[in-house]
Amino acid sequence: MLDVKMIRQKPDEFKARLSTRGVAAEEIDALLDEDQKRRDLLNQTEQLKSQRNKVSGEIAQAKRNKEDASDAIAKMREVGQKIKELDEQADQAVAKVNDMAARLPNLPNETIPVGSDESANVEIRKVGTPRKFDFEPKAHWNIGEDLDILDFERGAKVSGARFVYYKGLGAKLERALYNFMLDEHEKEGYTEMITPYIVNDDSMFGTGQFPKFKEDVYQIKGQNMTMIPTAEVPLTNYYRGEVIPDEKLPVYVTALSPSFRSEAGSAGRDTRGLIRMHQFNKVEMVKYTKPEDSYDELEKMTENAGSIMEKLGLPYHVITLSTGDMGFSAAMTHDLEVWMPAQDTYREISSCSNTEDFQARRAHIQYRDENGKLDFVHTLNGSGLAVGRTVAAILENCQNEDGSVTIPEVLQPYMHGVKKITK
């Protein structure tokens, strides 16, 4: 959440930078107008409270002098009623200011590309060379169905579109991947966690999903509970409302979890395969850092995600997202996209973001610096990796002409020695 005080001090700067994220200047003006109304109401209330204190003193003095204080008492009641009315108006103004501020996206880092959509994204580097096939590569959904390791038809029968059954060595491959990912992240200093998969509204607000993106998630009807869209939510909210000891920072945590997404607005996109599912597994990385360290930590997190693909032998590239393509809470995002031979293109498999203090303000996560001053931490999150998309990438990149799929060498111990999936 952005600091309204800072917006008030530098309105033109915030208008200019947020305009690159689709925020109209009128939205900032409306927020500042409501904030001024709030401040005026609070100022009036303070003046009346000061007047009430003065009248209270006059009443006390009159009583000590055994004088008639009825006029002063009536005056105090009148002032008290006015204070009550102004307090109610101020509470409404505060709630409105907070709601308006909560719907503003994070301020983009000044170094990222400016643009309205993904066309403005900038490639940082390519890693690995896409394999040249001497046969026509098949799409992962055809490979999975031919090998009888993915069953989309029965997934749709039981649950609906964008659900799947993993079977046999397909299920074993998924399990091998997330165990491998968790082990690799542990080597990099991340503490593995198993989190709740259902969270409350305060948690969804803390990471920026609420109040603006409720249509993107699955909520429990009649309850203040939501099925998590990513383990970022419970991992980041772990320290919500707390002060992290300075000596603990940075904190690295990781978790495997299912992710549940309504995919609102994705009709017609990726209707086949594992790319865009309502339920999928993902290994998440989250960091809490001091402000001065957060961008170095973003680069390390991006490398952590990339190293998984390098060890699996999957070609990928890293791009920095433009202001118009970046997620709501992010100040800077690096996407890692894996090469998908059947589509002849790169597809997102990880997104690593620095939210700076945006989430920490919403979730009120602080630390005490070396001078004893309280300050907000910076939080970062990234996929390490989306497991189903990694399965898809392995099926396509490691397929053979006879329809079999060779298991990457680093995964073979996790597959109990299985080196190839065959019909």
Write the DSSP symbol of residue 5: H
Closest alpha carbon to 327 in 268, 387, 384, 383: 383
Q: What's residue 102's pLDDT?
A: 96
Answer for the pair 365, 157: CB distance below 8 angstroms, yes or no.
no
Mean pLDDT, residues 171-188 taken together: 98
pLDDT band at 53 (very low <50, low <70, confident <90, very high): confident
Q: What's residue 59's pLDDT?
A: 73
Query: What's the pLDDT tens digit per position in 71-123?
Result: 777 877 888 888 899 999 999 999 999 999 999 999 999 999 999 999 999 99
329 is catalytic: no
Is the pLDDT reported for residue 218 higher than 80?
A: yes
Q: What's residue 297's pLDDT?
A: 98
CA distances from 325 to 26, 321, 351, 404, 410 (A): 22, 6, 12, 37, 34
7 a known binding residue? no
389 is catalytic: yes
Which residue is catalytic, options 8, 17, 39, 276?
276
Q: What's residue 51's pLDDT?
A: 80
351 is catalytic: yes
349 a known binding residue? yes
For residues 213 and 278, state if they share a domain: yes
Question: Which single residue is written with the structure tokens 């060498």?
Answer: 409
pLDDT band at 331 (very low <50, low <70, confident <90, very high): very high
For residues 383 and 249, state if they share a domain: yes
For every residue of 259-305, DSSP letters joined together read EE---TT-TTSS-SSSSS-SEEEEEEEEEEE-GGGHHHHHHHHHHHH
Q: What's residue 369's pLDDT?
A: 87
* CA–centroid distance for 415 within its chain: 32
Domain that holds residue 35: 4-103
Which residue is catalytic, options 21, 38, 52, 261?
261
Q: Last residue of a domain, which of 68, 103, 138?
A: 103
Beta strands in 3-117 (DSSP E): none
Mean pLDDT, residues 380-398 taken together: 98
In total, how many domains does the chain have?
2
112 a known binding residue? no
pTM listed for this prediction: 0.93
Which residue is catalytic, options 174, 362, 389, 396?
389
Residue type (1 letter), 173: L
* CA–centroid distance for 303 within its chain: 19
For residues 174 and 95, state if they share a domain: no
118 a known binding residue? no
Query: Residue 56 belongs to a domain with what CATH number?
Result: 1.10.287.40
Question: Is 109 contained in some domain?
Answer: no
Q: What's residue 50's pLDDT?
A: 84
Is the pLDDT reported for residue 266 higher than 80?
A: no
Which residue is catalytic, options 19, 103, 348, 361?
348
Which residue is catalytic, options 351, 353, 356, 396?
351
Q: What's residue 74's pLDDT?
A: 80
261 is catalytic: yes
Instruction: Say how many Å lie between the first and final Cα of the chain, rounded.
Output: 52
368 is catalytic: no
Q: Last residue of a domain, which of 80, 103, 126?
A: 103
Give the sign of the dihedral formed by CA 152, CA 155, CA 160, CA 163. Answer: negative
Is the pLDDT reported for residue 205 higher than 80?
A: yes
Q: What's residue 158's pLDDT?
A: 98
Question: Is 151 contained in some domain?
Answer: yes
